[in-house]
């Protein structure tokens, strides 16, 4: 299978930068519209995350230009297009195509969240493997107030993050979460004191030091195994571990532990 060149992709809504250590920085680049996701932006996400697993990328830092991560579905386009039920269903399937490629692609995606992470923006964030927020970040599902319903996976991934009762409350009331409370509830795994971009970049650099096959198993493996019965998941986990834990590239790391040159796991790590 040929390697993919992500920098050759015809992207219009996402800008790409080469980060340090094999990290690809993907920037939602429509700040004048608060990075609302129009059909073109969704196709960009599909194109990008289709190529990432074959591009030698060790981690993706997904961040946003401007003050807001993402305002969700492009409501102006949706109003203008006056879509049929079938047309909107097919559009939602493209959202799922993009987000499933992100979640199951086997390359860690670290999202740097700021400002509005709302509606489809929260659905996008929830497909990342690690979310880093900062003091400006807030989360909401305002679809109910707009006469709409979520169509990009909130019923699945947001409920996995924060549970069904809170998700339903957010959908019904438009409730907004932020700050320490949002961190505690599980919207993100990190809350930066400074910029989420900076902390997410640090997290991505750390993740990128793992062997790619380990990261493949951790990211796509955990998601797939969660979809199985416990019986089948334990079988599949053993098979995955058989492949990953005998990879030749791991031998040097194991040797370093055995000869005591590798760092130990300490409480202040």
| Binding site residues, ligand 1HE, CB under 6 A | 33-34, 36, 68, 71-76, 92, 95, 116, 118-120, 142-143, 146, 148, 150-152
Alpha-carbon distance of 208 to 21, in angstroms, equals: 7
Both tokens assigned to 13 = 């809504």
CB of 255 to ligand 1HE, least distance (A): 49
Residues with Cβ within 8 Å of residue 50, at least 6 apart in sequence: 4, 101
Both tokens assigned to 159 = 């409920």
83 contacts 55 by C-beta, under 8 angstroms? no
Closest CB to ligand 1HE among residues 166, 253: 166
Beta-carbon count within 10 A of 240 CB? 19
CB of 92 to ligand 1HE, least distance (A): 5
Closest C-alpha among 26, 223, 1, 204 to residue 106 = 223
Active-site residue, from 18, 97, 103, 123: 123
Closest CB to ligand 1HE among residues 51, 158: 158
Closest CB to ligand 1HE among residues 116, 204: 116
User: Catalytic: 123?
Assistant: yes
Eight-class DSSP state of 21: G
Active-site residue, from 143, 181, 193, 237: 143
User: Catalytic: 143?
Assistant: yes
Q: In angstroms, what is the C-alpha Rg of the chain?
A: 19
CB of 119 to ligand 1HE, least distance (A): 3
CB of 19 to ligand 1HE, least distance (A): 26
List C-alpha distances in Å: 25 to 18, 208, 216, 267.
6, 12, 18, 31
Total number of residues shown for the chain: 269
Closest CB to ligand 1HE among residues 106, 179: 179
Closest CB to ligand 1HE among residues 68, 129: 68
Q: Give the Cα-Cα-Cα angle 161, 162, 165 (nearest 5 degrees).
A: 140
- Full DSSP string of 56-122: T-SEEEEEESSS-SB--B-HHHHHHHT--HHHHHHHHHHHHHHHHHHHHSSS-EEEE--SEEETHHH
CB of 81 to ligand 1HE, least distance (A): 12
Beta-carbon count within 10 A of 184 CB? 10
Catalytic site positions: 123, 143
């Amino acid at each position: 299978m040929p390697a993919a060149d992500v920098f050759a992709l015809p992207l219009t809504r996402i800008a790409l930068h080469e980060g340090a250590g094999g990290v690809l920085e993907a920037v939602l680049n429509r700040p004048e519209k608060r990075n609302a996701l129009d059909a073109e932006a969704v196709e960009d996400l599909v194109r990008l995350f289709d190529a990432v697993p074959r591009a030698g990328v060790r981690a993706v830092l997904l961040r946003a230009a401007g003050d807001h991560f993402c305002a969700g579905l492009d409501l102006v386009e949706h109003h203008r297009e006056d879509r049929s039920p079938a047309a909107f269903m097919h559009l939602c399937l493209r959202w799922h195509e993009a987000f499933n490629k992100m979640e199951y692609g086997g390359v860690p995606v670290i999202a740097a969240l700021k400002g509005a992470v709302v509606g489809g923006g929260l659905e996008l964030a929830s497909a990342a493997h690690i979310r880093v927020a900062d003091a400006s970040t807030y989360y909401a599902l305002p679809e109910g107030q707009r006469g709409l319903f979520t169509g990009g996976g909130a019923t699945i991934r947001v409920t996995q993050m924060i549970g069904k009762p809170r998700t339903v409350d957010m959908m019904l009331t438009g409730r907004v979460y932020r700050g320490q409370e949002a961190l505690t509830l599980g919207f993100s795994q990190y809350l930066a004191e400074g910029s989420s971009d900076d902390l997410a970049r640090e997290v991505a650099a750390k993740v990128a030091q793992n062997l790619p096959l380990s990261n493949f198993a951790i990211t796509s493996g955990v998601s797939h195994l969660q979809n199985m019965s416990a019986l089948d998941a334990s079988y599949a986990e053993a098979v995955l571990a058989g492949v990953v834990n005998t990879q030749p590239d791991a031998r040097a790391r194991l040797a370093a532990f055995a000869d005591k040159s590798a760092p130990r796991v300490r409480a202040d790590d």
